Amino acid sequence: MCGIAGYIGERNAPEILFDMLKRLEYRGYDSAGVAYFAHGRILVSKDRGKVNDIRKNLNLGRESKLGIAHTRWATHGEPSRENSHPHSDCNSQFTIAHNGIIENYKELREGLIERKHRFLSETDTEVIPHLIEEFYSGNFESAFVKAVKKLRGSFAIVAISKSNPDMILLARKESPLIIGLGDGENFIASDTPAVLPETRRIIILDDLEYGIVKKNSVTIKDLETGDEIKKEIREIEWDIEEAEKEGYEHFMLKEIFEEPNAVRNALNGINKTEEIAGKLKNFNRIYFVACGTASYAALVAKYLLERFGIPSEAIVGSEFRYSTVNSLGSDCAVIAISQSGETADTIASVKEARKKLAYVTSVVNVVGSSLTRISDDVIYTYSGPEIAVASTKAYLGQLVSLTLLCLSLAREKGNINEQYMNEILDDLHKIPDKIRQVLDNEGEIKKLAEKLKDKKIFFYIGRRLNYPTALEGALKIKEISYVHAEAYPAGELKHGPLALLEEGVPVIAISPNDDLKEKMESNVQEARARNATIIMVGEDGDLRVPVCDPLLSPILYIVPLHLLAYYISTAKGLDPDKPRNLAKSVTVE
Ligand code: AGP
């Protein structure tokens, strides 16, 4: 997810564009840049870093009235000056900024290089200005349309040409793009926060539409037919903060509702996981290392491998770095998992592991983060920026990446039959829609949260790969509601914790329809016999989830628990986005 901006009018474009980028930084913040028309040409200023840092160091034109800008969330190509947007063609005739993923960029790039185009970055985006250059024969709009039609994947694009300083072209497919209507000036942005201080009147571009934006006119056309389209002008009621959350009350809720996309995006990494699995099969010992929520994803991976007869260990970073490392050697593979890629205990564990000559691969969300730079290989989850301190969508991205990795390793070792493998992969591709069904039950979950909001303790129980689901569910309540919650393997209740159960204590039982369903039932009966309040998570539970392969249940069953924790927090009048004592990334020991 990146932030795009454009301005055309009578005021100073670069200054306005940087103000717009600041309000889009929640969409991505590893690098930024502006391109603006001045002295008969397009000037580009861009660099790695946050918008304010770049703004300080850039020489911004004063007499420019036209420009585009971009704040990046890296997907293809590490965060760097070369990879930051905007990007230009060979002769700096055309300059563009892009949000999305061009799936066919490799073949386009190869063809362009064969035809002697020179590339300066490793991004998928850079093929776009070169395509425009290739199709250009005097008409910017026509060349732009032909270029965009060559693209497969998702895109929101803004483009300027030094031969046409009176217009900005834009096009959209699956990545958001809006036009803010001013008086003698117009604004373009990925999202409404960027334009709200200037105007509340917007046009929303729809998929496969493109536009020609001038300072006194906006024309929208159908990308396929070229026919002009009459678009509704909308009046935005939100304030800026609401707009950044796209109308959700908190980033955490927005990010829970992005969980279907987080699963889809992680599925794009299947080729990489197959490649890494080919390396992992050569190692005698496998260790997962992570902290907090990521450590529960690690535990799920441990159970997944065991399901296919492959032993491994899942250790939290603060323990791994001082204990586990003593037993590592060159026959070991370490898989580090981290949303931020900046967690000190995880990074330290990896550094220690490398000293012992272990092979290290990491599963990370933030492209180019510290952990990625000390790993032999990286599997990106592509979950997009996760702003809320409590991790939600990134956890699902980790689970999907690790599920693909474990299945691929099981196949490499001949421990899974091809038919079952294909069945699971089919079901995995259906998970986003199943998550959507759970999210549609939001109202029921909110009501349950209202009933539970004053409870003083919660129990979460699960078995095998849903024990980590219990751990994650419990952590979420602790993190954002400040209420104690215990997570146990369900079979452990009778070995002590049962003494804590009494009238009204909530026990949340994660119970998929698998071969241990009856065992779970007995554990639930033990709790019910002590008058605990039982909340079943399952296909016919109080927290209902659709049918799925039990192997994928950790991905689906955590969704109602994320929502439950969120609504208990808000019912208690707390701010789930900024929980006390916690930070989004724990970069200290
Ligand atoms: C999860 O909700 C917490 N914010 C915390 O446990 C987090 O998962 C942990 O600090 C690890 O962070 P990382 O994934 O960025 O390494």
Return the bridge partners of 34, or none. Answer: 45, 69
CA distance 66 to 9: 7
The DSSP letter of residue 18 is H
Q: Is the CB of 389 under 6 A from ligand 1?
A: yes
> Are 24 and 189 in contact, with CB atoms under 8 Å apart?
yes
Mean pLDDT (the chain) is: 94
Domain range summary for the chain, segments of one domain joined by +: 3-244, 259-571
149, 221, 519, 584: the active-site residue: 584
CATH number of 3-244: 3.60.20.10
For 323-381, the pLDDT digits (tens) are 999 999 999 999 999 999 989 999 999 999 999 999 999 999 987 788 998 999 999 99
Q: Residue 62 has what pLDDT?
A: 63
Q: Is the CB of 291 under 6 A from ligand 1?
A: yes
Q: Residue 274 has what pLDDT?
A: 95
**Model-level pTM?**
0.79
Ligand 1 site-directed mutation target among 252, 339, 347, most atoms within 8 Å of CB: 339
**Burial label, 241 (beta-carbon count in 10 A; 0-12, 13-18, 19+):** exposed
Q: Is the CB of 549 under 6 A from ligand 1?
A: no
Extract the tokens encoding 294: 């990521």
Using alpha carbons only, give the angle 98, 101, 107 rounded to the nearest 5 degrees: 105
Which uninterrupted H or E stretch holds 108? helix 105-114
Instruction: Note the CATH architecture for domain 259-571.
Output: 3-Layer(aba) Sandwich (3.40)
Please give the share of the chain, as a percent, with pLDDT higher than 90: 84
* 3-state helix/strand/coil string of 510-557: ECCCCCCHHHHHHHHHHHHCCCCEEEEEECCCCEECCCCCHHHHHHHH
Q: Residue 581 has what pLDDT?
A: 80
Q: Is the CB of 293 under 6 A from ligand 1?
A: yes
Q: Residue 27 has what pLDDT?
A: 77
For residue 500, the Cα-to-chain-centroid distance in whole angstroms is 38
| CA 262–ligand 1 middle distance (angstroms) | 16
Q: Is it true that 3-244 and 259-571 share their CATH fold?
A: no
Catalytic-residue membership of 254: no
- The type of residue at 574 is L
> Are 379 and 408 in contact, with CB atoms under 8 Å apart?
no
SS3 180: strand
Extract the tokens encoding 379: 């599997």
Q: Give the burial string for 369-388 (b: 16+ CB within 10 Å, else e).
A: bbbbeebebbbbbbbbbbbb
For 37-65, the pLDDT digits (tens) are 998 999 998 998 888 888 876 666 567 99
CA distance 98 to 486: 45
**Half-sphere exposure at residue 247, Cβ-oriented, CA atoms within 13 angstroms:** 4
| CA 84–ligand 1 middle distance (angstroms) | 27
- The type of residue at 324 is T
> Are 64 and 15 in contact, with CB atoms under 8 Å apart?
no
**Strand 543-544 relative to strand 533-538, pairing:** parallel
Q: Is the CB of 388 under 6 A from ligand 1?
A: no
Residue nearest to atom 16 of ligand 1 (CA): 338
| Ligand 1 atom at minimal distance to the Cα of residue 340 | 15
Residue 461 vs residues 9, 163, 506: alpha-carbon distances, Å: 60, 66, 11
Extract the tokens encoding 491: 């079979």
